[in-house]
Structure 1
Amino acid sequence: MHPLIASYVRITDRISDYVGYLAASLIFMMGGTLIFDAITRNLIRMPVHWAVELTQFTLAAYYFMGGPITLKNNDHVRMDLWYSTRSPKGKAKIDLAMSFCLIFYLGVLLAGGISSLAYAIETNEKRFSIWNPSVIPIKALMVVCIVLMLMQAFSLVFKHIATIRGKELA
């Protein structure tokens, strides 16, 4: 493969790793927030109304940020009825076809995400609750993570093409 493509794959994989490790650390934030909520609600009898909602936002961030590393590490769910019986080149051909489906899906998702983010910015969209937080940050993170997933999907395309050609690209 061309050195530029190999660099793209290496950089994209590294970004996916960093974002994935950051996402994994969000579990501690969610746990801490829920423990804080339980303590203030049950021991102090002074509930904080923002804790559960912050945990929901953090869970959404965890979900979005985990997408690129899940693609990179091939940890997603797949039907293994006849895939597992294929040779590495056969698997790469199937994965290549599925990667194009994924790219189409992520492209549609990105268009919707950008539209939703633009609307949120124009209207200063807020969540209807006691805390009333802005949804702009989480929608912006969603768009950024969809772009990262698209970058990782293209990285997978290059890897599958290399496998089909009998070369290794990692």
Structure 2
Amino acid sequence: MPGFLMGYVRVVDGFNRRIGRFVMYGIFVMMGILLWSSISKTFFLPSLWTLEMAQFAMVAYYILGGAYSIQLGSNVRMDLFYGGWNDRQKAWVDAFTIFFLIFYLGVLLYGGYESTSYSFQYNERSPTAWRPYLWPIKVIMMFGLVMMLLQAISEFLKDVARLRGVEI
């Protein structure tokens, strides 16, 4: 395996590991928002921003954690046959099926780019009473999709290396 491809895998894996480890604490942000929502509804006037902010936090949480999830292999697989295969058979199947994931992420990126550019162009806001700008969460989504795409390519390269008898 050429050195630049091994370097690519190390850089992408390292970056996604750091992002994933940081973002996993986002659950506490969501808990804080929802706790404040409960307290404000019980003791004060209900906050307009809590529901939508919790949704934005959840989107950031799972989109930014997606690449780390792919890296750890904690994504969903049909284990009926896969669990009984050896590492080489798994690498063959993963190297083939990763193209479906890459295609899917490419389609999402295309639509996400169009939606994000629309958001910037027209200063798109949510139609709720709070009316936050939508471009920040769309930018986060685009970043997460790009990182998942880069991680999928990294996983493909690791599968090809495994098929050649090399571990990265």
**Under a length normalisation based on structure 2, what TM-score does the superposition of the two structures give?**
0.97
Q: Distance in 2 between matches of 1:50 and 1:32?
A: 13
Output aligned runs, 1:63-102, within 5 Å: 63-102=62-101
Find runs of 4+ consecutive structure 1 residues off by over 4 angstroms.
none
| 1:20 counterpart = 2:20 | yes
Equivalent in the alignment of 2:46: 47
Q: Which runs of 5+ in 1 are unaligned?
A: none
Equivalent in the alignment of 2:149: 150
Aligned residues: CA RMSD: 0.9
The 3-state SS of whatever aligns with 2:79 is coil
Output aligned runs, 1:126-141, within 5 Å: 126-141=125-140
Q: Distance in 1 between matches of 2:146 and 2:87?
A: 28
Q: Distance in 1 between matches of 2:82 and 2:34?
A: 41
Q: Residue type matched to 2:65 in 1?
A: G
Q: Distance in 1 between matches of 2:31 and 2:132?
A: 20
Equivalent in the alignment of 2:58: 59
Deviation string, structure 1 residues 65-98 (Cα, Å, up to 9, x no partner):
1110011001001101111221111100000011
Equivalent in the alignment of 1:31: 31
Q: Which runs of 5+ in 2 are unaligned?
A: none
